[in-house]
Structure 1
Amino acid sequence: MTSSFIPSASYDISLLKDSQLLLPSVSIGNVPQLTCDLIIHTLHLKRVGFISSDAVIPVVGQYEDQQAIGISVPIEVYQSKDRRWTVIQQRSPTLKGKKQSLISTLITFIASAGFSQVVILTSLDAARRLDSQISGIPFRVVGDVNTVQDIYQTIQVPNLEMPPTEQQQKEDIDMTSTLPPMPGAGIARSLYQQLQEKKTKVIMFCMFVLEGDNVQDSVELANLLNTYYHIKSKDTDINNSGAWTPPKSWECLFGTPFNAEIYQ
């Protein structure tokens, strides 16, 4: 299978090699995509290509970079100026019955690009937390032992807990998997597992959230990633405020303001 990556004009695909890939999974609250929005627009990442897939709803929209010509499409690829980070942004949901097709497409792209590491972002249904997960921070990680230990020592984020065997049986979880259940996480669990099988270096950051206004959740997840990876440089944060820059589309995140007069 050939890679489905379509580079932008004049972009050399070899520049993807050895960068770190930030990959959001469409999941509850859309927190991973909102987080990637913050990173893309705060760091002024350049769109370097697209991923073609019939596994997502085909939509187009206005390109948010008003200084450039073009449109937004379902799966876009961005990269930082120093090529340290590559970010995928998925703008439309995966079609029913097409999850494995999308996973295969992403894995093919990852294998052909030669990334140094894949960082999956996902959100989990906070209403289905274990008792031990209710108190404390809402973040968890999934990864190899050494990486998980380093993350815990650096930012005190623990490994995602495995539920008791009895609960796994009640929820009909795959008992042969070494991964905990991840309600609301979309393709994240399967994608992580298959990347591991391909011997790809991969880590997954999870956040427990509830559906609603998830803007603050995305800011907190972006802050967590920045604390560990130092994504933002001093040059990026001109005012040294620590603030993230949302895209213009967030102005209509919950629709346009209603006309209060019609209720009078």
Structure 2
Amino acid sequence: MFVPCGSSAPPDFEGFTLLLPAVSVGNVGQLAVDLVIFTLDMPKVGYFYTDCLVPMVGNNPYATAEENSTELSINAEVYSLPSKKLVVLQIRSPFVKNKYRSFCQTLLSWVKSSRCAKVILLSSSHAYQCDDQQLHGCSNGIQMAVLLKFCSEGDNIPDALALVNYLNEWLQLVKSEQNSTAPATPSQWKIPHSWRLLFGSGLPPALF
């Protein structure tokens, strides 16, 4: 369930678009959501408390200075930008075995009670498994769209940039500096500093 930050009253998400990633191939959806949160400087407004995700805690992935680098982040957090009627649920850990359906039910209940206008799911799938049947679904009475990027495991930053650009063509979250109608370029998406450790911290020099 949604838990607001601090002791403040729950924010109003009526009419908002909910954006969230699927935990999928190459973490492409999660990387794309990172780009949206960091580029738009979206403030954290709460957490999504659930026992359906593997527990995790870490430093603030969107830290910009020493002052906010010690803030802690957990496996499911909620960010909001009222000026764009956008709320984002970032998921940072995989599902506990056999808990996927339970999580979906809890999420749907929150979406309905929050009266969000629509849901957009950013996902990815193995390129060799491309099948038109994957592009169809149902949404339990909620307006829902899935943006799916077929890709392979590896350096999936280009896939995340491509996926977030597809999203931007629709929602117009970021405008091109040269032309307001042109699509955003990769340089216009701000890369979180935490991405420097996507592939680890490198080999210790002592090995050589």
Interval of TM-score (by shorter of Structure 1 and Structure 2): 0.7 to 0.9
Q: What CA distance in whole angstroms lies between the structure 2 residues aligned with 1:226 and 1:103?
A: 26
Aligned AA for 1:219?
Answer: L
Q: What CA distance in whole angstroms lies between the structure 1 residues aligned with 2:78 and 2:13?
A: 10
**Which position in structure 1 is the counterpart of 2:118?**
117
1:85-100 equivalence runs, <5 A: 85-100=86-101
**Which position in structure 2 is the counterpart of 1:39?**
36
Q: What CA distance in whole angstroms lies between the structure 2 residues aligned with 1:19 and 1:203?
A: 14
Q: What CA distance in whole angstroms lies between the structure 1 residues aligned with 2:38 and 2:72?
A: 16
Please, which runs of 5 or more residues in structure 1 have no aligned partner?
131-160, 162-179, 183-188
Aligned length: 197
Shift of 1:17: 1.3
User: C-alpha deviations, 1:9-29, integer Å up to 9, x for none?
Assistant: 254434211110001110111
Given that residues 14 and 113 in structure 1 are in contact (C-alpha distance below 8 angstroms), is that contact kept between their aligned partners in structure 2? Answer: no
**Which position in structure 1 is the counterpart of 2:181?**
none
**Which position in structure 2 is the counterpart of 1:208?**
150
Q: Are the structure 2 counterparts of residues 233 and 45 from structure 1 closer, same or farther at C-alpha, using a change threshold of 3 Å? A: farther
Q: Are the structure 2 counterparts of residues 55 and 210 from structure 1 closer, same or farther at C-alpha, using a change threshold of 3 Å? A: same
Q: Are the structure 2 counterparts of residues 233 and 81 from structure 1 closer, same or farther at C-alpha, using a change threshold of 3 Å? A: farther
Q: What is the RMSD of the two structures over their aligned residues, measured on CA atoms?
A: 2.2
TM-score (norm 2): 0.86
Given that residues 4 and 11 in structure 2 are in contact (C-alpha distance below 8 angstroms), is that contact kept between their aligned partners in structure 1? Answer: no
User: C-alpha deviations, 1:96-145, integer Å up to 9, x for none?
Assistant: 11111111111111111111111111101102225xxxxxxxxxxxxxxx
Aligned AA for 1:91?
Answer: R
Q: Secondary structure of 2:188's match?
A: coil
Q: Are the structure 2 counterparts of residues 234 and 98 from structure 1 closer, same or farther at C-alpha, using a change threshold of 3 Å? A: same
Higher strand fraction (1 or 2): 2
TM-score (norm 1): 0.69
Aligned AA for 1:76?
Answer: E
**Which position in structure 1 is the counterpart of 2:189?**
244
- Find runs of 4+ consecutive structure 1 residues off by over 4 angstroms: none
Q: Secondary structure of 2:12's match?
A: helix
Q: Are the structure 2 counterparts of residues 261 and 70 from structure 1 closer, same or farther at C-alpha, using a change threshold of 3 Å? A: closer
Q: Secondary structure of 1:55's match?
A: coil
Given that residues 48 and 77 in structure 1 are in contact (C-alpha distance below 8 angstroms), is that contact kept between their aligned partners in structure 2? Answer: yes
Q: What CA distance in whole angstroms lies between the structure 2 residues aligned with 1:100 and 1:207?
A: 23
Aligned AA for 2:28?
Answer: V
Q: Are the structure 2 counterparts of residues 251 and 216 from structure 1 closer, same or farther at C-alpha, using a change threshold of 3 Å? A: same
Aligned AA for 1:120?
Answer: L
Identity %: 31
Given that residues 46 and 77 in structure 2 are in contact (C-alpha distance below 8 angstroms), is that contact kept between their aligned partners in structure 1? Answer: yes
Given that residues 20 and 119 in structure 1 are in contact (C-alpha distance below 8 angstroms), is that contact kept between their aligned partners in structure 2? Answer: yes
**Which position in structure 2 is the counterpart of 1:171?**
none
**Which position in structure 1 is the counterpart of 2:19?**
22
Structure whose alpha-carbon radius of gyration is higher = 1
Q: Secondary structure of 1:108's match?
A: helix
Given that residues 46 and 81 in structure 1 are in contact (C-alpha distance below 8 angstroms), is that contact kept between their aligned partners in structure 2? Answer: no
Match 2:47 to one of 46, 50, 54: 50
Given that residues 20 and 118 in structure 1 are in contact (C-alpha distance below 8 angstroms), is that contact kept between their aligned partners in structure 2? Answer: yes
1:88-237 equivalence runs, <5 A: 88-130=89-131, 161=132, 180-181=133-134, 193=138, 196-197=139-140, 199-233=141-175
